[in-house]
Structure 1
Amino acid sequence: MKILITGSRGQLGHDVVNVLEADHHLLSLDLPELDITDFKSLKNVIGEFRPDVVINCAAYTQVDTCETQKELAHAVNAIGPDNLSRCLADHGGRFIHISTDYVFNGKKPIPEIYIEKDPTHPVSVYGETKLSGEQSIQQNLNNYVILRTSWLYGINGGNFLKTILRLSMKDSNPVIRVVDDQYGSPTWSYRLAKQIAAILDSDANGIYHATAEGYCTWFELAKAFLSQMGINKEIVACTTPEYPTAAKRPMNSILENFRLKSEKTNEMIDWKQDLNKFVSLHRDQLIKEAVQ
């Protein structure tokens, strides 16, 4: 299968390439070789390569910065998917696009879950732009899969776990404060890449949720991670109002993989199992990066 992967050097894109490269003919591109906000450039690439599938891992994911960089966030998260889906509408092919839990407002009481058909209502610029991208794809194409995931972490690029580790290894940070009232499902980018591989072999179509099983708070995640890393650092739980950020976050980001399970294509497992595997595979590299 000929597959174009955009954002191939990002956290998820890196793992998608690693998972798929043995079995498929890949064209893996990222900035500066390919800018998904440039329709003409995209059209040329897709016209020449003629992929069977495009997997869009490109996104502007700096949630707080999106509040002040609205045009950039809109260009990458909304216009980019619109451009890609328009190109595929002309050339043919399947589109797999990565979206987010931030399309929901998170107002459901814990532990209620969000399924694919629940009404969307983003509370941040990031969420708004990602939802706009989803809507464009649905308007432009019939042959698409939109995968909403949450709390993504991996070995490539920056993420919450790497930030916590870096802070924990600095003597200038005697105590780390982490919010304990936002809930979600920490999802390993490698596991999500395996889920994408399974979707390629299925007839999946439409919107799907794809997150790890189970849920926790950011505080619980930080404690579990540092414990598995063998690092003894004091972490103090705080509330969202005690840790203000530029962008509002959903308090409940618990997504249920309802459609993947009902169609028997769910590859996602418990977040604690994946976190343990992630640490066992990458502990040395994580430590090395944290002390640089």
Structure 2
Amino acid sequence: MYTGDWEEARQEGKDEKKWLLVNIQNEKVFDCQVLNRDIWKNESIIETVKENFLFLQYSKDDPRAETYCNYYFQNAQIEDEYPHVAVVDPRTGEQVKLWSKKVPQQAEFLMQLHEFLDRYSLETSARNPVAKRRSEAKKEKPVEQLTEDEQIERAMQASLGGRKESIKVPNEDPDDLTKSIPDLRNSSADDKDMTDVSEEETSSSSQTSPFASIPSDQPHKEPEMSSSVTRIQLRHPAGRIVRRFAIADPVQRIYEYLKAEPIEGKEGADFELRSLGKDLIDSRDSTIEEAGLKNASVMVEFVDT
């Protein structure tokens, strides 16, 4: 856990190329205690956070939380807004992911962390997803446009000391606003022009590639859930699949499964598997545990041929 203040954390995040993972706590909210019990003590989550994030956990009344709450969490005094967990880009100060009011179970939260790390990078050459839109604050209607019930509600608010209800911006996950936009992480300004590669060379390369050597007649039978079994989320352009694998299975079993039971409409298509931005083809002989894929999210990216 990072113990410095907000500005110090941003500087260290820039220097170490680590995202800022922020948890604002309210001791009166039971779900905040559940976070401490179930999420922040999970070994797999701890490993992922240590490697990729600076973890900041502040009480809502901690002076160190003041700057963060002023910018990102103006409703910090409202119990219904908890739990609050967010990811912030240390370079720009932009909040890029948010879990608000409800945090998923351990396995799903870990998958979402891995999914985030697949889509975003702090490398200077990376092109991260951009939000397609942001919701606007709900504007107050003129009285003549209100229904009878809404007029009564406004009159009641006015009677309580003449105060006007504050306009609240919905707590949306910024990451959700990018997901209909093609991922730009694999684009690069240095992409080479491959038009001079002949069809014959391409065909020969395909036949001898590690991917081509993986069999397509090995269907996968899911093992029963136990301590030696894990769930892996396979994300693809049309959605996602969650399957169980033994942690002692080689990574190649994931490739074999997708070749034997291809995603609808992608029969026979070449694909790459990526986790945390890393191509898994070179790890196909490693076990799922050795490759760090326990409860992981794996990207299935189809190769245009």
- TM-score class normalised by the smaller sequence: under 0.3
Greater share of helix:
1
Task: Name the larger-Rg structure.
Answer: 2
- Give the alignment's TM-score, normalised by structure 2: 0.26
- Give the alignment's TM-score, normalised by structure 1: 0.26
